[in-house]
Amino acid sequence: MAWDPGQYRKFGGHRLRPAVDLLGRVPLDAPPRVVDLGCGEGAATRLLRERWPHAELTGVDSSAEMLEVAARELPGVQWQQADIGTWKPPAPIELIFSNAALHWLEDHTSLFLHLVGAIKPDGVLAVQMPHNFAAPSHRLITDVALDGPWSQRLTPLLRPEPVAAPEFYYDLLASRATHLDIWETEYLQVLEGENPVAEWTKGTWLRPLVAALGDEERRLFESEYRRRVAEAYPRRKDGRTLYAFRRLFIVARI
């Protein structure tokens, strides 16, 4: 199931804004080693390089397609293809930064404890995850998957909401952090184009389902999803579409 960097980048500015907001709350002056975990095509990695130009910077991702783009556009970074759920540095490091990646993984209790264990004392774990899975854009994916002739094949691929409530992460990390900052932001994204919310999810949450279908079923599935999501997010009078998107942020100093 390959990632499509071009599809993902259609809304690059909107996707990058939470990374900017997360980076602004990282309380480190000059960390010698920084890891962008789940770096994708390297958009957030570029921000890390600009803030800490002298840091040893590593980008880790499971997608060869994304890393190929990242390496071409941002030389001077150590790029690693690896499972971000099991990756660990050879020694504890000063900053692990992860923007819109960890929601793809299961068992956040084990995952976050694993990541905290990879941070040096006085280092930071900084994470942003989408927290928008109850919104129509995501809920309708499940509805269409269950309603069609493909339901038997797609049901095993459906995931419960992957990101827990903020209180879960507080309870998990509070005793392990010297300072813990957790917040949520809902961005009212103003999108351009034809049915842009469907185009947004096509680059992310819709991917595993359409990848499991043949060409004709994929066309029918996407057509029905696009119809429903266009009704849920109608164009405004100026032709644009409003897409409210909630995100969860965690900055833990260890």
Quick one: pLDDT at residue 208?
A: 85
- Please give the helix or strand (H or E) that residue 77 lies within, else none: none
C-alpha span between 81 and 97 (Å, rounded): 16
pLDDT at 6 over 60: no
Going by the DSSP 8-state scheme, the letter that residue 31 receives in this structure is -
pLDDT at 11 over 70: no
Q: In whole numbers, what is the pLDDT of the chain averaged over residues?
A: 92
C-alpha span between 218 and 18 (Å, rounded): 31
The proportion of the chain whose per-residue pLDDT surpasses 90, expressed as a percent, equals: 85
Residue type, 174: A
Q: How far is CA 34 from the centre of its chain?
A: 18
Structure tokens given for 139: 């809920």
Q: How far is CA 106 from the centre of its chain?
A: 14
Average pLDDT on 187-213 reads 90
**215: CATH:** 3.40.50.150
User: Which pLDDT band, with edges at 50, 70 and 90, does 12 fall under?
Assistant: low
Higher pLDDT, 10 or 16: 16
Instruction: Tell me the per-residue pLDDT of 143-172, one tens digit each, with 9 for 90 and over.
Output: 999 998 999 989 998 988 899 999 999 999
pLDDT at 3 over 50: no
pLDDT at 15 over 70: yes
Pairing of strands 78-81, 93-99: unpaired
Quick one: pLDDT at residue 8?
A: 46
Instruction: Tell me the per-residue pLDDT of 31-81, one tens digit each, with 9 for 90 and over.
Output: 999 999 999 999 999 999 999 999 999 999 999 999 999 999 899 999 999
- Please give the angle made by the CA atoms of 171, 176 and 179, to the nearest 5 degrees: 90
Average pLDDT on 93-111 reads 96
Average pLDDT on 211-234 reads 94
pLDDT at 2 over 90: no
DSSP three-state, residue 233? coil
DSSP β-bridge partners for residue 93: 119
Counted domains in the chain:
1
pLDDT at 9 over 60: no
C-alpha span between 49 and 67 (Å, rounded): 16
Its domain, for residue 159, covers: 5-253
